[in-house]
């Protein structure tokens, strides 16, 4: 990219860490700057560049706050989350603008990011009156058996930048409703959004130390959080490489650990698909959020009978997408998040060319007009992609879509399942049997029929198979986040007044 065209301007104030209910600078006093990826002249704000000392203070505050918070009745914890959800509704537009400025997604998506946090906060507030376990019959008389959910303790939460308010909400609200205390280390690309979300929760009435925020970089602030002896559990969302590294650190320290990482999500388009619907789903899945969703549709597996017609329409649609600053209502596609991401995506485009795929559309940065100073990349489509190519296997996390050709459903499903990741998968077909077979055989955490790979709802568990996910799922209730943020305690109560031996004492009449 070239030199910047206009003078630098600052639009936001600095944020701070939240430790034990107080907003404080990093002990070192160091900060780092966040710029708008759509316009590098705009400084969005500054955040503390924290280190192990700040993490230690935050973890100690969370540890001290844990007994009282765990003892607070869950419905009372829920009341605070309800208040937070109401505040989020009130602050939705302000937070949406901040999402757009800090990480660049276009306004409708930025508002959707905040709405997801609102939905999750209301939903988890309501879990305060459920959080149920099981009561089952004992095999012995005058004895009962039940299981209850109990909090795990101090949670270290590490989040990525692509859903800078929604993903912190996915982790913080179930952790809190379950009675855990929290230290959040948000992504260095979007700490201001995370800080504003934390500020709303704090304003809703959380006691000091229950929720703490430490901003900074992965190695300096994230890793000390994972390794801190007073942290009982870690929930990570981000890249597979970092997640795999942290999984080992956590296992060595015997911590609860869950991770959700990358995707290489396929859409199968069969010869009987509604082509307009499939094209619109592929455009939304491939280029929405500039392809920076873990559920982005980065592979399209297209039946040979409709391949050329589908590709022509897709290219037409991709060329019509309007790139622009997130806050311009006409913009449909924003920038990618950073210089590093920009370079990584361009490198993958070069890899695709060298591997022999056909560049059918896009393939370069886009710095026309109002996009001059942003990390914009034209929507890019590769055809003639072979399943073994790196661009068909590795997560690019940018506006790049690979098209593979197939001649039948079983081959398409084999191709769909043939990557290291298994987050989301979709099929477009009018054939009920083909849809049922795909539903059964696609190995992914989320399967969509006649819908794109993106569009998960918060009341269902979210996560993936193979290298995408490890540990219980995010979101949802039972079978999802509640399993991640609680541990089970089983209680047997014997009121027979006798020594009864399970599996041994014969039943009395």
Helix H, strand E, coil C: the string for 399-437 is: CEEEEEEECCHHHHHHHHHCCCEECEEEEECCCHHHHHH
Torsion of CA 304, 309, 313, 318, to 10 degrees: 40
Q: What is the CA radius of gyration of the chain?
A: 24
How long, in residues, is the chain? Answer: 509
Task: Tell me if 180 contacts ligand NAD by CB under 6 A.
Answer: no
Task: Tell me if 472 contacts ligand NAD by CB under 6 A.
Answer: no
Q: What is the DSSP string of 40-87?
A: EEEEEEEEE---HHHHHHHHHHHHHHHHHHHHS-HHHHHHHHHHHHHH
Listed ranges 16-24, 62-70, 119-127, 254-262: which one lies at the site for ligand NAD (CB under 6 A): 254-262
Among 187, 270, 318, 426, binds ligand NAD (CB under 6 A): 187
| Residue 395 beta carbon to ligand NAD: minimum distance, rounded to whole angstroms | 5
Name the active-site residue from 193, 294, 371, 402: 294
Task: Tell me if 242 contacts ligand NAD by CB under 6 A.
Answer: yes
Among 17, 121, 162, 196, binds ligand NAD (CB under 6 A): 162
Task: Tell me if 159 contacts ligand NAD by CB under 6 A.
Answer: yes
Task: Tell me if 158 contacts ligand NAD by CB under 6 A.
Answer: yes
Closest CA to 423 of 400, 397, 403: 397
Please tell me the distance from the alpha carbon of residue 65 to that of residue 154, in angstroms, as a whole number. 9
| Residue 339 beta carbon to ligand NAD: minimum distance, rounded to whole angstroms | 13
Name the active-site residue from 260, 332, 395, 474: 260
Sequence-distant (6+) residues with CB within 8 A of 287 are: 318, 321, 333, 379, 399, 401
Please tell me the distance from the alpha carbon of residue 233 to that of residue 324, in angstroms, as a whole number. 40
Among 109, 119, 260, 373, binds ligand NAD (CB under 6 A): 260
| Residue 171 beta carbon to ligand NAD: minimum distance, rounded to whole angstroms | 10
Q: Confirm whether 294 is a catalytic residue.
A: yes
Asked if residue 24 lies in contact with residue 55, where contact means CB atoms within 8 angstroms, the answer is no
User: From residue 99 to residue 138, what is the string marking binding to ligand NAD with x (rule CB under 6 A)?
Assistant: ----------------------------------------
Among 3, 29, 219, 330, binds ligand NAD (CB under 6 A): 219
User: From residue 383 to residue 422, what is the string marking binding to ligand NAD with x (rule CB under 6 A)?
Assistant: ------------x-x-------------------------
Helix H, strand E, coil C: the string for 243-277 is: HHHHHHHHHHCCCEEEEECCCCEEEEECCCCCHHH
Listed ranges 39-47, 84-92, 126-134, 221-229: which one lies at the site for ligand NAD (CB under 6 A): 221-229
Contact positions vs ligand NAD (CB under 6 A)? 158-163, 185-188, 217-219, 222-223, 226, 237-239, 242, 245-246, 260-263, 294, 395, 397, 423, 464, 468
């Amino acid at each position: 990219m070239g030199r910047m065209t206009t003078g630098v301007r600052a639009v936001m104030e600095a944020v701070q860490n939240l430790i034990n209910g107080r907003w404080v600078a990093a002990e070192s006093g160091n900060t780092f700057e966040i710029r708008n990826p759509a316009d590098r002249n705009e400084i969005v704000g500054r955040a503390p560049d924290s280190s192990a000392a700040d993490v230690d203070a935050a973890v100690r505050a969370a540890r001290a706050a844990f007994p009282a918070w765990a003892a607070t009745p869950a419905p009372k914890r829920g009341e605070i989350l309800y208040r937070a959800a109401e505040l989020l509704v009130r602050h939705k537009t302000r937070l949406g603008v901040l999402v757009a400025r800090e990480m660049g997604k276009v306004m409708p998506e930025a508002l959707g990011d905040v709405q997801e946090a609102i939905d999750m906060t209301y939903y988890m507030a309501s879990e305060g009156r459920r959080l149920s376990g099981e009561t089952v019959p004992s095999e012995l008389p005058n004895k009962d058996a039940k299981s209850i959910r109990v909090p795990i303790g101090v949670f270290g939460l590490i989040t990525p930048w692509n859903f800078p308010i929604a993903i912190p909400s996915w982790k913080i609200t179930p952790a809190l409703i379950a009675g855990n205390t929290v230290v959040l280390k948000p992504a260095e690309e979007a700490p201001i959004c995370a800080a504003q979300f934390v500020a709303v929760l704090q304003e809703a009435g959380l006691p000091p130390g229950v929720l703490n925020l430490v901003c900074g970089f992965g190695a300096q602030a994230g890793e000390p959080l994972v390794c801190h002896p007073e942290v009982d559990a870690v929930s990570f969302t981000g890249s597979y490489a970092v997640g795999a590294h942290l999984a080992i650190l956590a296992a060595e320290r015997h911590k609860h650990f869950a991770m959700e990482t990358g995707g290489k999500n396929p859409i199968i388009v069969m010869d009987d698909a509604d082509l307009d619907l499939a094209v619109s789903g592929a455009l939304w899945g491939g280029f929405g959020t500039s392809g920076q969703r873990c559920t982005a549709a980065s592979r399209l597996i297209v039946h040979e009978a409709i391949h050329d017609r589908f590709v022509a329409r897709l290219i037409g649609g991709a060329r019509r997408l309007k790139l622009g600053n997130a806050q311009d209502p006409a913009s449909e596609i924003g920038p990618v998040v950073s210089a590093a991401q920009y370079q990584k995506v361009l490198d993958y485009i070069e890899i695709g060319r060298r591997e022999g795929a056909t560049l059918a559309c896009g393939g370069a940065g886009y710095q026309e007009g109002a996009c001059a100073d942003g990390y914009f990349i034209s929507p890019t489509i590769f055809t003639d992609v072979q399943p073994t190519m790196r661009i068909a296997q590795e997560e690019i996390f940018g506006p790049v879509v690979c098209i593979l050709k197939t001649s039948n459903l079983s081959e398409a499903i084999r191709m769909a399942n043939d990557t290291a990741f298994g987050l989301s998968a979709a099929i477009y077909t009018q054939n009920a049997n083909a849809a049922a077979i795909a539903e059964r055989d696609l190995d992914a955490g989320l399967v969509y029929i006649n819908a794109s790979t993106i569009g998960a709802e918060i009341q269902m568990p979210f996560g993936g198979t193979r290298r995408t996910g490890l540990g219980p799922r995010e979101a949802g209730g039972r079978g999802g986040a509640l399993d991640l943020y609680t541990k089970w305690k089983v209680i047997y109560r014997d009121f027979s007044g006798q020594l009864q031996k399970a599996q041994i004492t014969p039943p009395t009449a």
